[in-house]
Amino acid sequence: MPLASVLSAVKELILAGRELPVLEAERRIKYRYYFPNLSPEELEDLAKILPAQLRAYTSSIVSGEKGTLYNLFPITFKLLQKYWEISFGEIFDPTAFIQDMNSKFPWKGYATEVLAANFVSYISSRHDLGELVPYLQDVGRIEYLSMKVRRHLPEPVTKEIELSGLTVEELLSRNFIIKSSTVFQEFYFDVVGLYWEEMKEEDLTLPPLEEVTLAYCARNTKNRLRWGKLSSEIFDYLQKIERNNPVKIEEFAEVAVSAVSTDALSEGTQGLSEEDLFQAFYRLLHRLMEDGVLHFI
């Protein structure tokens, strides 16, 4: 028999927490409805497994899920453990939490990314968790996107170019690309700073500011994860660029200089010289290249 299909069905039954009939014939009828893609032979094999045997596998599967999710979402679980007892009057039970997640968002297949996406969907659907920790959804999302960027398939290596060795004309004439692993994300809280602090500290820091934060996540030239924040004009421009599609630095410079001028006026600063504007663009360009958002080609 194609064992993989039957095992996948077994896992789905366990995670969904379905009540199963005692009689084999009744189980076969239900399974035909639950798993229309299984062959008659696979349905027969699946129906022969007693419900008690399926329940015996539950703890090992949930334990495996818990270990995976704790590794992917350390800050999210740290927040849940800290505030759960304060709000609900009981110690946080990660096993019960994950079992409830499985009942609403069953993990189909074996892809870790699907399990992680289910976790983010689950905490987003729990309005009581939003009251518990208002920024929990943003924290879950930043950890999920960090996982996606880390696990993205390796991409072609691009040349490292020293900006200081180029004239202004040479710099503006060059092309850059944004690799497909790079993500841009809007958050309702400033969780970018919180993310980096929590990666270094054991104890939770102060809650993040409640403000719209426009951010990027990329892998730098040393293949390390980097998060950073952008102004709205730069964010809107960069996120619309097609991945791996060459763009002139000169075009980006026009957008960046305009954004710097707008920001300066909003802060009450006037009379920035062309040199000041170009230096601000240069610093932004250098940061985005260092963080792996932009790549010269």
Q: What angle do CA 69, 83, 62 make, to 5 degrees?
A: 25
Contact in structure between 175 and 297 (CB atoms under 8 Å): yes
pLDDT number for residue 17: 66
Decide which of 123, 148, 173 is a domain's last residue.
148
Residue 167: per-residue pLDDT: 82
pTM for the structure as a whole = 0.81
Q: Do residue 142 and residue 158 come from a single domain?
A: no
d(CA 43, CA 30): 10
Q: Where a domain ends, among 148, 170, 194? A: 148
Question: Does 156 lie in the same domain as 116?
Answer: no
Angstrom distance (rounded) from CA 292 to CA 173 = 20
CB within 8 Å of 218: residues ≥ 6 apart: 149, 179, 181, 182, 183, 225, 226, 291, 292, 293
205 and 139 in one domain? no
Closest residue by Cα to residue 272 from 289, 138, 280, 29: 280
Query: Sign (positive/negative) of CA torsion 93, 98, 99, 100?
Result: positive
Report yes or no: 166 and 202 within 8 Å, Cβ to Cβ.
no
Cα torsion through 57, 119, 184, 213, rounded to 10 = -150
**What's the start-to-end Cα distance of the chain, in Å?**
51
* One domain for residues 71 and 125: yes
The pLDDT assigned to 296 comes to: 87
What is the Cα–Cα distance from 273 to 15, expressed in whole angstroms?
63
Same domain, 17 and 117: yes
3-state SS record for 221-261: CCCCEEEEECCHHHHHHHHCCCCCCCEEHHHHHHHHHHHHH
- At residue 268, the pLDDT reads 44
Residue 86 has what pLDDT? 84
Residues 95 and 208 in one domain: no
Looking at 89, 115, 148, the residue that finishes a domain is 148
Which residue range is the domain that position 85 belongs to?
A: 3-148
CA dist 126 → 89, 104, 121, 123 (Å): 17, 11, 9, 5
* Helices marked H in 73-189: 74-88, 94-104, 112-125, 127-132, 136-151, 168-173
Q: Are residues 234 and 285 in the same domain?
A: yes
Angstrom distances, CA of residue 83 to CA of 127, 129, 130: 15, 10, 11
DSSP designation for 110: S
Which among 152, 174, 275, 294 is positioned nearest to 234, based on CA atoms? 294
**Run of H or E residues at 7:** helix 3-16
Total domain count, the chain = 2
* Tens-level pLDDT at each residue, the chain (297 residues): 456 777 777 777 777 667 788 888 988 988 888 888 888 888 888 888 888 877 777 777 888 899 999 999 999 999 999 899 888 889 999 988 998 998 889 887 778 999 999 999 999 999 999 988 999 999 999 999 999 999 887 666 556 667 777 788 888 889 999 999 999 999 999 999 877 666 555 556 567 888 999 999 999 878 889 999 999 999 999 999 999 999 999 999 999 988 877 654 445 445 567 788 888 888 999 999 999 999 888
Three-state DSSP class for 269?
coil
User: Do 292 and 157 share a structural domain?
Assistant: yes
How much is the pLDDT for 20?
A: 83
